[in-house]
Homo-oligomer: A and B are copies of this chain.
Amino acid sequence: MTASPDIENLITRLARLPGLGPRSARRAALALLQAPQTRLQPLSEALETVARTVQTCPECGNLDSQAPCALCRAPDRTQDLICVVETVGDLWALERSGAYRGHYQVLGGTLSPLAGTGPEHLNLAGLRARLARGEVREVILALGATVEGATTAHWLQSYLLDSHPDVRVSQLGQGLPMGGALEVLDDGTLMAALAARRELQG
């Protein structure tokens, strides 16, 4: 214990954030304490506000200060397109890209027989409701290129084909990331890129 219990508690809490270890949490705490008006107070208020307002969207599983979330309410988004992602972080990444203008379904996880995570643990309520209402033309599976992501995509594909054969199911293309040099890519990506090769028009 080198600082007061209150400060040590703050350091402990900061150190639990991803990207911060004990040393950087200490530096961050010090930076906060040395700027009470410009750093400490605004961060404290920002946390208090999100703790009070932010909730999981009952439609899609996104996090927002309103329910349904701003994306589910947006009138200008394509209504009949649902993109299925694992986490809110994945949703944010797609939104940042600006490449997608439909709705989402955040599963909140992946299928993992080893970890005992079955379909009943996935958040599918909104997707099921939208499918039941006949609103959906296409479901895009944007799951991670991992064993769990592939398992989950496979199960969802079967489920959707069985229950809604009229709905198109697609998944994200796999291959070289932008700017990716071949020599630093892992074997899995290279294999996927080879398998997904496109014939060029002569």
The reply to whether the CB of A30 lies closer than 8 angstroms to some CB of chain B is yes
Asked if A34 meets B95 with Cβ closer than 8 Å, knowing A6-B46, A10-B50, A27-B19, the reply is no
The reply to whether the CB of A92 lies closer than 8 angstroms to some CB of chain B is yes
**Which A77-126 residues have a C-beta within 8 angstroms of B?**
87-89, 92, 95-96
Number of residues from A at the complex interface, CB < 8 A = 53
Minimum C-beta distance from A85 to chain B (A): 13
Contact (Cβ within 8 A) A46 B4: no
**Which A174-199 residues have a C-beta within 8 angstroms of B?**
none
In the complex, chain B residues whose CB is within 8 Å of the CB of A26 = 89, 92
The reply to whether the CB of A128 lies closer than 8 angstroms to some CB of chain B is no
- Interchain CA distance A30-B106 in the complex, whole Å: 14
Asked if A17 meets B7 with Cβ closer than 8 Å, knowing A2-B96, A88-B33, A95-B2, the reply is no
Minimum C-beta distance from A49 to chain B (A): 5
**Which A119-170 residues have a C-beta within 8 angstroms of B?**
none
The reply to whether the CB of A171 lies closer than 8 angstroms to some CB of chain B is no
In the complex, chain B residues whose CB is within 8 Å of the CB of A47 = 10, 32, 40, 43-44, 47
Contact of A28 among B17, B69, B87, B88 (CB under 8 A): B17
The reply to whether the CB of A74 lies closer than 8 angstroms to some CB of chain B is no
The reply to whether the CB of A76 lies closer than 8 angstroms to some CB of chain B is no
The reply to whether the CB of A54 lies closer than 8 angstroms to some CB of chain B is yes
Q: List residues of chain A with CB under 8 Å of any chain B CB.
A: 2-7, 9-10, 12-14, 16-20, 24, 26-34, 36, 39-44, 46-51, 53-54, 63-66, 69-70, 87-89, 92, 95-96
Known A9-B49, A18-B27; 12 more pairs at CB < 8 Å? A2-B96, A4-B64, A6-B49, A6-B54, A13-B39, A13-B46, A17-B39, A17-B43, A26-B92, A32-B47, A33-B54, A44-B47
